[in-house]
């Protein structure tokens, strides 16, 4: 295959996964974000990179958002929301984070491949992204030309970007209002 064929196939895979996400759950996730006192974002590996970008966009919107594990992240409390990105929904450190969040009365939203995972069983909201991954216990009929969990990781990032746009619309914001909070010490 050449570059154009790879690009076309990857775009079709992304279209399939994003259009398969439950739109009502996307709305519910947007509401959870809008109503949370603070948003804590957690993920491992490439999912961790994706959720860090999401935390940054929430900060650009003026939300109190943090990345779990960073030195300046405060404690989570009741009224807080933990957003976990985990294809397997079973990564031990993330299971521990979700357990702690529930223990203090915070809400948990999970973006995952496996809606029957340990974190899903604790979560207030589970957003399923139907993508194949060797890390997930859930088997899917979909095949991907991409290696490992790439399709899930890309899809979760795009899903979170779409939710940011939904939240922007809800709050009457545009890119110009958000840019005022962009880093100026780069």
* Catalytic residue numbers, as ranges: 153
Tokens of 152: 């899930």
Among 83, 21, 61, CA closest to 170:
61
Angle ∠(135,57,100) on CA atoms, nearest 5: 55
Look at residue 112 and give its three-state secondary structure.
strand
Helix axes 45-60, 150-171, angle to 10 degrees: 10
User: Counting Cβ atoms within 10 Å, is residue 90 exposed (0-12), middle (13-18) or buried (19+)?
Assistant: middle
Strands 80-85 and 65-67: unpaired
Report the 10 Å Cβ neighbour count for 134: 9
Rounded to the nearest 10 degrees, the angle between the axes of helix 3-19 and helix 150-171 is: 60
- Six token digits for residue 178: 């958000």
């Amino acid at each position: 295959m050449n570059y154009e064929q790879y690009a076309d196939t990857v775009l079709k895979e992304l279209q399939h996964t994003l259009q398969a996400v439950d739109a009502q759950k996307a709305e519910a996730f947007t509401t959870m974000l809008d109503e949370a006192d603070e948003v804590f974002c957690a993920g491992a590996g490439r999912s961790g990179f994706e959720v860090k970008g999401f935390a940054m966009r929430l900060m650009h919107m003026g939300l109190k958002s943090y990345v779990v594990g960073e030195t300046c992240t405060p404690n989570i409390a009741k009224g807080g929301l933990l957003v976990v990105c985990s294809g397997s929904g079973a990564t031990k450190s993330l299971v521990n984070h979700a357990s702690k969040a529930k223990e203090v009365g915070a809400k948990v939203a999970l973006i995952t491949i496996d809606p029957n995972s340990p974190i899903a069983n604790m979560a207030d909201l589970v957003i399923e992204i139907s993508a194949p991954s060797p890390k997930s216990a859930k088997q899917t009929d979909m095949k991907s030309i991409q290696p490992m969990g790439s399709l899930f990781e890309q899809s979760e990032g795009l899903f979170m970007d779409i939710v940011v746009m939904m939240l922007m619309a809800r709050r009457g914001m545009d890119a110009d209002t958000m840019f005022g909070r962009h880093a100026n010490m780069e």
